[in-house]
Each structure stands twice: as structure tokens, then as C-alpha cells.
Amino acid sequence: MSEHYYSKDPTVKSQPKELFVTLRQRSFRFVTDAGVFSKGDVDFGSRLLAESFVMPEVEGDVLDVGCGYGPIGLSIAASFPERKIHMVDVNERALSLSAKNAENNSISNIEIYPSDALDDVATTGFSAILTNPPIRAGKKTVFSFYDGAFSKLKTGGELWVVIQKKQGAPSTIQHLEKLFGNAEIIVKKKGYHIIRAIKV
């Protein structure tokens, strides 16, 4: 079986690389590596999700599911220093990169820990959960992200998802409408959809 970025412990040889990117009007220095998602640059979907996100008015922590080396979670944490941002991933190399990148960019209002989807997230009552789900892991895995998010959000909390139309945006919208009773496309760009569902 070939190895994927959603493997727990990538065995592919480490080849660290430095990226300099601007997200949410702030410059970041990120270290990436082989065996993590979109190691060459912040992918378009993650960038669009980070830039489009609007913090809900309800109080509470924020969760980035499948954080990779941290571009979404860290850019949100930098924008909202008064909120705590939880960042989880199944990939241990990605988590250590996220921790390193938080340190490199002097971001401390974060908590980084391993979780398979949301199975190992003990906290509940999040005000927002963001995800660029691992499409290649299959629909069952992706939908488990959504189901887990619903159970972990507080009333009034919001799930923000980025997904390409051709990779399942219509079925995601259908699933979220059934689960949350609502789902709205906030942004459409280059075939990517930013979808928001609110827990009512």
C-alpha cells in the first residue's frame, strides 16, 4: 500500500523545506516536509478556507481538524489571539511541524495533539471547527469528520469546510443539510467551495 499524508507515522525520508507565505494579511515562515499534505506550498483550498473564515460571535475554542503543518490553524490563531485554537491530525510528522511552526511564528494560543478524525478530541463546545478534509481517504472518513464536528460544536457553533465541487461538494452539502439542518456555500472559487453549517 502506498503511503498517504493521512498515515499515522510517515516512513518516507524527511526532506524539510521552508516556505514564506502570507495568510490573513500576515507573513508566516513555515517548515514543511515529505509525508505531509501539500508540502510544496499552502494549497489553494487551505488558503481559501483560512482567508474566508469569519469568527462566529459565540464564545469558545476553535478546532482545526487535519491541521497538517499548520497553515489554517496558525493563521486563525494569529488573527484571534484571544481564542484558543486546537489543532489535530493523525500524522505525527505533521503535528511536530505544526508545533515547530507555532514556535517559529511566536504563536502560543494553540493546543496541538494527535487525533484520528475527531475521535481523540476530548474538548466539546467549540465555537468553530474548520477542515480541509482528506478526500483521498474516502467518503466514509470525510463524513466522519462532519459527524464528529457536529457532536463537538456548541449551539450556534459553525463548521467550515473547503471541498472541490468535483471531489464531492454536492454530497457534502447534502450530508451537512441532513446533519445540521442547514449548509451554505460562502465562497466559490476555481472549483472550490467554502461551505458553512451552523449547529442550531
pLDDT tens-place string over residues 25-81: 999 999 998 778 766 679 999 999 999 999 999 999 999 999 999 999 999 999 999
Q: Which grid cell sits at 82? A: 484571544
Q: What angle do CA 35, 36, 39 make, to 5 degrees?
A: 105
Distance from C-alpha of 152 to C-alpha of 33, rounded to nearest angstrom? 30
Residue 170 within any structural domain of the chain: yes
Residue 107 within any structural domain of the chain: yes
pLDDT the model gives residue 3: 40
Residue 58 within any structural domain of the chain: yes
pLDDT tens, residue by residue, 85-134: 999 999 999 999 999 999 999 999 999 999 999 999 999 999 999 999 98
pLDDT the model gives residue 101: 98
**Residue-number span of the structural domain to which 79 is assigned:** 17-198
The domain total for the chain is 1
Residue 49 within any structural domain of the chain: yes
pLDDT the model gives residue 30: 97
pLDDT the model gives residue 137: 85
Residue 73 within any structural domain of the chain: yes
Distance from C-alpha of 31 to C-alpha of 19, rounded to nearest angstrom? 6
Cα→Cα distances 192→136, 144, 168, 174, Å: 16, 21, 10, 16
pLDDT the model gives residue 5: 44
pLDDT the model gives residue 179: 98
Distance from C-alpha of 119 to C-alpha of 93, rounded to nearest angstrom? 19
pLDDT the model gives residue 39: 63
Residue 59 within any structural domain of the chain: yes
State the CATH number of the domain containing residue 162.
3.40.50.150
The pLDDT of 146-170, averaged and rounded, is 96
Q: What angle do CA 86, 92, 96 make, to 5 degrees?
A: 65
Q: Can you give the pTM of this predicted structure?
A: 0.92
DSSP state of 181: S
Residue 10 within any structural domain of the chain: no
pLDDT the model gives residue 2: 36
Which residues make beta-bridge pairs with 193?
163, 188
In the predicted structure, residue 158 carries a pLDDT above the cut 80: yes
Residue 28 C-alpha from the chain's centroid: 17
Residue 9 within any structural domain of the chain: no
